[in-house]
Amino acid sequence: MAAVVLGTPELLRTISMYQSGIYEDLRPYFKRAYFRGYYARDKTKASLHIAIARNKSKVVERLYLCKPCMFTREAMDLAASFGHIDVVKVLHRLGCACSTSAIDSAAQCGALGVVEFLHVNRTEGCTVFALNSALREGHDELVEYLFKNRTEGCSPETVDHVAWNGQLKYVELLHEKGVVGFSTRTMDFAAGAGHLNIVQFLHEHRREGCSVDAMNDAARRGWQSVVEYLHNNRFEGCTTDAMDDAAANGHLGIVEFLHKNRSEGCTSDAMDLACRNGHLKVVQFLNENRHEGCTAAALIDAIKHGHTEIVKYLHQHCQSLYNWTQAIDVATHRGRHEMLTFLISPLPSTISPNPAS
């Protein structure tokens, strides 16, 4: 009888299905714990998770015959996160469960087919993370599907995220859908990221407005068109941080605009930071057009950072009181020999130093 069984491949295969053990061709899956940078979180399920990562739906089916205990809801969640629709279908047919992470992660990777299948065939649903991530990643079809077929919506902070990312079509969509989350931060974020079109849309269609952070951040990052629009259309204004930070980052055009059109002014930080960061034209403009001046740190920082032309300009034109002995010491210590040639020369007679603050 044994000889007959061993000589009949079909019969032998059927009997083997009811025996414990592992198919010979599946043994490699039980010898590895990773696949192309993916590491199984649970080593006892590594073989299954590697097969899922490889998108091997037939291998997954055969593994179920060998080790059904490995098939937890993590399996379908993982398959969904990779967007492997065939594996998801196999796991569903085998009776595996999943969690809300399945649709959530499928939405994040843009797997519309997986999201559709899970929505139609499963009851676990999803969370706001699904729409949040679809919006953030720019998956247009998924965004449309989730809005049409799911009720979880998105979280309020998503509004600010799409504004920061410059996704005008999503800002318009969230506005149209009446999503909760629009606030002054929305325009602040859009302005800080330089998205003038979103700032314009929010100004024309929303009532939340913005805060002084909008112009401050736009000025700091060099978005002059945004600064000008806010000045011409909004009333929130800015603070001295706007010119200070614009000067620090070398945005001369914005410094000039704020000086000419705004009344907030700046502080001595504007010239100090412009000197530290090597923005000579900004330093010249501030010294010639503003009254805030700078502190002793301006010269010392310019020396430390090797800004020779600024050191020379401060030595010749700035009327703040400097400790020239300290300046020479710093230049000597830093090996700024080209600076020493003029630092050791007498101050111009036209300079009348102000008392140190």
- Note the pLDDT tens digit of each residue in 275-310: 999 999 999 999 999 999 999 999 999 999 999 999
Check if 21-26+42-153 and 268-343 are the same fold. yes
Beta-bridged to residue 38, according to DSSP, are: 35
Summarize pLDDT for 309-331 with one digit per residue, the tens.
999 999 888 755 577 788 888 98
Q: Does domain 155-238 have CATH number 3.40.50.920?
A: no
Residue 177, C-beta contacts closer than 8 angstroms, at least 6 positions apart: 147
Beta-bridged to residue 34, according to DSSP, are: 39
The predicted model gives 20-38 an average pLDDT of 54
CATH class for the region spanning 268-343: mainly alpha
> Which residue, 70, 79, 86, is CA-closest to 22?
70
**How far is it between the farthest Cα atoms of the chain?**
118
Summarize pLDDT for 131-185 with one digit per residue, the tens.
999 999 999 999 999 999 999 999 999 999 999 999 999 999 999 999 999 999 9
Burial category of 298 from C-beta neighbours within 10 Å (exposed 0-12, middle 13-18, buried 19 and up):
buried
User: Are residues 170 and 202 in contact, defined by beta-carbon separation less than 8 angstroms?
Assistant: no
The predicted model gives 121-131 an average pLDDT of 98
pLDDT more than 90, % of the chain: 70
**Ranges of each domain in the chain:** 21-26+42-153, 155-238, 268-343
CATH class for the region spanning 21-26+42-153: mainly alpha
User: Are residues 57 and 36 in contact, defined by beta-carbon separation less than 8 angstroms?
Assistant: no
Angle at 252 between CA 249 and CA 255, to 5 degrees: 90
